[in-house]
Amino acid sequence: MSSSSSIWTVPHRQLYIDGDWKDPILNKRLPVINPSTEDTIGSIPAATSEDVELAVTAARRALVRNKGKDWARASGAHRAKYLRSIAAKIVERKSELAKLEALDCGKPLDEAAWDMDDVAGCFEYHADLAEALDKKQKIPISLPMDTFKCHVLKEPIGVVGLITPWNYPLLMAVWKVAPALAAGCTAILKPSELASVTCLELADICKEVGLPPGVLNILTGLGAEAGAPLASHPLIDKIAFTGSTETGRKIMTAAAQVVKPVSLELGGKSPIIVFEDVDLDKAAEWTNFGCFWTNGQICSATSRLLVHESISVEFLDKLVAWIKGMKVSDPLEEGCRLGPVVSEGQYNKIKKFISTAETEGARRLCGGGRPEHLKKGFFIEPTIITNVDTSMQIWREEVFGPVLCVKTFRTEDEAVELANDTQYGLAAAVISNDRERCNRIAEEFQAGIVWVNCSQPCFCQAPWGGNKRSGFGRELGEWGLDNYLSVKQVTEYISNEPWGWYTSPSKL
C-alpha cells in the first residue's frame, strides 16, 4: 500500500433508492475533497426533495408490501439473516472500506480499520437483538381484575429518517441503520455531505446481499437540500439525528410541525478530572486519547481537563511529552495517530477558536499551528490551552478539533462543580486510584456516559447518549432498539358475564 493518499480516488456511485442505483433527478453532484491533500478525488450524488419523495415512497412500500413479504411483519430471525450477511461483507471488505474512510474524512487508517470491526460487530449484535425480539414482541401484563387479559406488542415505528455525521461516517450510520432494520423499520439514511463515501459502499453491500428493495435507501447531498425535506416529510414516522446542537434545533422544529418523534445526539464539552494519586503516564495517555482520538473531532471528546493543582506542572509536562511522540501525518501512513480535520471550513473554525482564546488571555502551551513537515492538507497540531477562565469561549463551546483546555482545582467538590458547569451533558471522565472517590464522582457527573480511569471506550451493548443540550434518547444496547419500536397495549374482556354497568334493555 502506498504511504500517500494522493493516488487514490473514490468509486463513482449514484443514489440508492428502492434497491437500485439512481441518478439524482436534478443530476447534481458534490466534489469529494481529500483533507490530507486538498485534492478532489471523486464526487457523490446530491439528492434534493424530489429524490426524498422517491425514497419515502419506496420505504413505505417496503414496510408493508403485502402480507408475508413486507419487512415490518417479517420475523426477527428473517431480518437477522440479512444483518449477518451485511456484517460478513463488511469484514470481507474491511481493508478497502478503511482506506476509503481515511481518504474521505482524514481519520488515521488504524482507527478506520478499528471502526470497520465495530461496524461488523454492530450488525452482528443487532441481528441477535432481532432474533430475541421474536420472543419479546408480545409481553403479558398482570392485571388486578381476572375479567380482563392484557398484553403489550412491540412493533416497528415505521419509516425512519436517519441523519448522520462525518466524524464516524459508516459507524455512526450503522448505529442507526442496524437497530432500525432489526426492529422492522424501513429507513432512509442521509449521511453528512462531508463524508459519505463509505455509506454509499454500504448501499453496494446491501444490494449484493439482496436486502429487499426499499428497506434501506441512501441519499447523499446537502443538509438543506436533502436533510431538511427528510426531517419535515409527513410520511416519515421518526427522525434520528447525530450532529451539531444548532442543526438539532432545526430538526426538532421541523419535526414538531407534524408532531414527529425525534432522538438527538448532539454536541458536548466533556470534562476529565485527574487527581493527584494517579500514575502520571497512564493518566496522560488517557487524557490525550480522550481529546485527540479521531483527530479531536468527536462529540464526546473529554476536551476540558481539570487537574489537581499539586501535580499540574508535572502532568502538563507529561502531556506535552506524549504529544511529541504522536505521529501527525497522511492518514494512510503507517503509525499515523493524528490526521487532518475534515474540511477547510472546519480547519478555519478551529484556528479561530485558538486565536480567540489567546486574545482573551489564555496561553497556548503547545500546538495550534500546521506541522512543519506538512505543506498541504487541513492539519492542526495537537493543541493544549492553559490559563483558561470559565467564561472563555474555548472552555464553554465545542471546538470539535484537537484542542485541549486546562484548569486546575483544589478539592473534589470544586472539580465536580467545574465539570458540571456546562450546557452539555454527553460524557465525563475521572482518573484516580481511589475507587470510592471515582464511584462518588460518577454519580455526581451530569452526563449520560461516564468513564473511570479511561476515556472514549464504547461498546454496542451499552447505551450511548446525553443530557442537557447534548440531546435525548439513547443509542446502542437494547435501549437503542427501543428507539425504533412502538408500544401497543391490547386488552381483552374475557368474562362470560355481561359488564353490567348499564341497565339491560330486557329489564326495562
Angle (CA) 93 166 329, round 5°: 75
Q: For the chain, percent helix, then strand, then coil, each to nearest 5?
A: 40, 20, 40
Question: In terms of Cα–Cα distance, which of 315, 245, 173, 200 is closest to 466?
Answer: 245
Of 506, 491, 460, 393, whose CA–CA distance to 174 is shortest?
A: 460
Burial 124-134 (b: 16+ CB within 10 A, else e): bbbbebbbbbe
Cell reading at 244? 451539531
User: What single-letter DSSP state applies at residue 223?
Assistant: I
Backbone region of residue 306 per phi and psi (left: phi > 0; alpha: psi in -120 to 50; beta: other values):
beta
Please give the torsion angle defined by the CA atoms of residues 269, 434, 288 and 418, in that order, rounded to the nearest 10 degrees: 30
Collapsed DSSP state (helix, strand, coil) of residue 399 = coil
Distances (CA, A) of 383 to 292, 307, 338, 408: 9, 17, 12, 17
Partners of residue 328 on adjacent β-strands: 338
Question: What gap in Å lies between CA 424 and CA 434, rounded to an integer?
Answer: 26
The set of residues, in sequence order, having a beta carbon less than 8 Å from that of 193 and lying 6+ positions away, is 30, 44, 46, 220, 221, 222, 223
Catalytic residue, chosen from 111, 124, 193, 265, is 265
Whole-angstrom distance, CA of residue 155 vs CA of residue 5: 46
Verify whether residue 265 is a known catalytic residue. Answer: yes
Q: Which residues pair with 138 in a beta bridge?
A: 153
Residue pair 133/38 in contact (Cβ under 8 Å)? The answer is: no
H/E element, 198:
helix 197-209
Evaluate whether 137 touches 154 at the Cβ level (below 8 Å): yes
Give the residue numbers annotated as catalytic, written as ranges.
Answer: 265
